[in-house]
């Protein structure tokens, strides 16, 4: 495809400073597409064994789309730079190029085993040097159960199945005492004593005490633990080697000890040649730390230093113990006439299936 076709074609602003000519479906038999599908299958086998059938059948590729990405300064016209090419006689010729940022593949693959469908969705970013990164991976098992009714035909009910590692266990209890809310991470016995002391001090009746005790003893909880962090991209508190790794390791320890059900992250980056031993792709780092979580990462904009220092994108991410059924993002308004409003922001929306709540 020639440069003139790209320039005369209609571009779509994928996100801040990034253009494409939209998604197009690709054939799985193409060599590049075949490698992407194989990469996704191997990723499933490494990360989500629970969401794979027992057979080694080839998965069905329900959707495979590709977007080619190019840098833009204003989200409307491709950024162009001058270069040279050498012909077969050794002569050099001037040429104008667009700044190519790589490709993004979006695909859904599934295996069918009896009444169960094992579904995985991916966003895979392939950078110009040929390295692939998983920007999103979600999966779930959908099992269809037929139930007979006395008054009508058989009804089919869809059931979502989870791995043992993402079962929801209660260790937060919340009760109302004198309009004050207590949210305590303690054992049931410790919490029971605290509540009994509070009831005694507030001269509660024995009837109220029995109600509280029953609530504490219950194994059912309708609470969902959600955490959110601005992870401050690749910044470090110190300029010495290892400062970024120490900061991120401390953040990891806080998240692991808190054990959130859903985790929201801001200022998540891929930044070439940075990240110390953790690597340049922050969502990969978090995915390695939280192997039982599904995740979606969506860049909001490509940073200007991309032109000099290599690809640098920044965005937001959602990680969840429970299946992420679907997700999408929306670009928020940016005032191009305001020199202080230089950052494209997005809203990342995800539909998550939580057993005691629903979608």
* 208 shares its domain with 189: yes
pLDDT at residue number 167: 38
* 62 shares its domain with 119: yes
* 53 shares its domain with 79: yes
Look at residues 327, 172, 321 and name the one whose alpha carbon lies nearest to residue 255: 321
Q: Classify residue 161: in a domain, yes or no.
A: no
Of 217, 246, 277, the last residue of a domain is: 217
Of 198, 217, 236, the last residue of a domain is: 217
pLDDT at residue number 1: 30
Instruction: Please give the C-alpha separations between residue 316 and each of 73, 107, 151, 347, in angstroms, as whole numbers.
Output: 21, 20, 50, 8
pLDDT at residue number 334: 87
* 205 shares its domain with 253: no
* 232 shares its domain with 348: yes
Of 158, 191, 217, the last residue of a domain is: 217
Q: Classify residue 119: in a domain, yes or no.
A: yes
Contact of 109 with 62, CB cutoff 8 Å = yes
* 196 shares its domain with 229: no
* 129 shares its domain with 263: yes
Show the DSSP H helices in the chain as ranges: 3-8, 31-47, 188-201, 206-217, 243-258, 282-289, 306-309
* 46 shares its domain with 137: yes
Per-residue pLDDT of the chain (359 residues; tens, 9 = 90+): 333 334 445 789 999 999 998 899 998 888 899 999 999 999 999 999 889 998 888 999 988 999 999 999 988 899 998 888 888 888 988 889 999 999 999 999 999 998 899 999 999 999 988 899 999 999 988 887 655 555 555 556 667 666 644 433 322 223 233 323 233 333 445 444 544 554 455 444 444 444 433 443 333 456 889 999 999 999 987 777 889 999 999 999 999 999 999 999 999 999 999 999 999 999 999 999 999 999 999 999 999 999 999 999 999 999 999 989 899 999 999 887 887 878 899 999 999 988 878 88
Q: Classify residue 123: in a domain, yes or no.
A: yes
The span from the CA of 316 to the CA of 332, in Å, is 13
Report the relative pairing of strands 226-230 and 262-271 from DSSP bridges.
Answer: parallel
Contact of 322 with 133, CB cutoff 8 Å = no
Extract the tokens encoding 111.
């295996």
Q: Classify residue 158: in a domain, yes or no.
A: no
pLDDT at residue number 152: 58
Q: Classify residue 179: in a domain, yes or no.
A: yes
Q: Classify residue 160: in a domain, yes or no.
A: no
* 186 shares its domain with 83: no
Can you give the residue range of the structural domain that contains 125? 3-143+224-352
Count of C-beta atoms within a 10 Å radius of residue 89: 5
Q: Classify residue 359: in a domain, yes or no.
A: no
Q: Classify residue 148: in a domain, yes or no.
A: no
Strand partners for 331: 346
Phi then psi dihedrals of residue 19, to 5 deg: -115, 155
* 208 shares its domain with 231: no
Residue 71 C-beta-side C-alpha neighbours within 13 Å: 22
pTM for this entry:
0.78
Count of C-beta atoms within a 10 Å radius of residue 293: 22
Counted domains in the chain: 2
* 254 shares its domain with 115: yes
* 190 shares its domain with 311: no
């Amino acid at each position: 495809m020639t440069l003139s076709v790209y320039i005369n074609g209609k571009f779509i602003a994928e996100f801040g400073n990034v253009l494409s000519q939209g998604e197009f479906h690709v054939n799985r038999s193409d060599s590049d597409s075949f490698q992407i599908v194989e990469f996704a299958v191997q990723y499933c086998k490494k990360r989500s064994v629970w969401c794979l059938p027992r057979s080694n059948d080839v998965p069905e590729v329900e959707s495979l789309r590709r977007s080619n990405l190019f840098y833009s300064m204003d989200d409307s016209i491709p950024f162009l730079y001058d270069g040279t090419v050498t012909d077969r006689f050794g002569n050099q010729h001037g040429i104008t190029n667009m700044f190519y940022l790589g490709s993004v593949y979006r695909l859904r693959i599934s295996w069918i085993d009896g009444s169960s469908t094992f579904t995985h969705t991916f966003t895979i970013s392939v950078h110009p040097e040929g390295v692939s990164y998983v920007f999103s991976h979600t999966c779930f098992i959908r099992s269809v159960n037929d139930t007979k009714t006395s008054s009508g035909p058989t009804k089919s009910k869809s059931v979502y199945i989870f791995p043992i590692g993402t079962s929801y266990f209660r260790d937060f209890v919340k009760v109302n005492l004198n309009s004050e809310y207590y949210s305590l991470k303690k054992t049931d016995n410790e919490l029971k004593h605290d509540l009994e002391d509070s009831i005694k001090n507030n001269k509660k009746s024995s009837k109220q005490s029995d109600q509280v005790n029953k609530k504490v003893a219950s194994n059912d909880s309708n609470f969902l633990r959600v955490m959110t962090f601005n992870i401050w991209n690749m910044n470090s508190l110190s300029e010495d080697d290892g400062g970024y790794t120490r900061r991120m390791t401390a953040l990891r320890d806080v998240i692991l000890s808190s054990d959130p059900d859903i985790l929201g992250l801001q200022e998540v980056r891929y930044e070439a040649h940075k990240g110390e031993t953790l690597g340049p792709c922050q969502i990969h780092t978090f995915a390695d730390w939280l192997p039982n979580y599904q995740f979606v990462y969506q860049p909001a904009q490509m940073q200007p230093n991309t032109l000099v220092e290599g690809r640098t994108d920044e965005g937001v991410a959602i990680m969840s113990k429970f299946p992420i059924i679907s997700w999408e993002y929306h670009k928020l308004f940016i005032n191009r006439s305001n020199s202080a409003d230089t950052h494209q922001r997005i809203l990342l929306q995800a539909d998550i299936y939580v057993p005691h709540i629903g979608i």
